[in-house]
Amino acid sequence: MNKTLLIRADASKEIGHGHVVRCLALAQEWQSRGGEVAMVSRELGTKLADRLMGEHIELYEL
């Protein structure tokens, strides 16, 4: 599979990180099946962005 999964999610102190972390689990499963992942976000924070990049997820900022 050479398809890219595009995920749209935000995280911040106000709304929390749970949605992005759940999306990370989906991204990891997609990658385990040979796919690539890109995430589009308005706000993530440095620690979470670093974690996603460490998982080989392309990040795009709105």
Residuewise pLDDT in 10s, the chain (62 residues): 579 999 999 998 899 889 999 999 999 999 999 999 999 999 888 899 999 999 999 999 99
- For the beta carbon of residue 18, count every other beta carbon within 10 angstroms: 10
The domain of 28 spans 4-61
pTM to 2 decimal places: 0.85
Tokens 């749970």, residue located: 18
How far from 41 is each of 2, 14, 20, 56, CA to CA, in Å? Answer: 23, 15, 10, 16
**40 phi and psi angles, rounded to 5 deg:** -110, 130
Which pLDDT score is estimated for 43? 86
The domain total for the chain is 1
Tokens linked to 30: 């997609």
* H/E stretch holding 6: strand 4-8
Which pLDDT score is estimated for 1? 59
Which pLDDT score is estimated for 28? 97
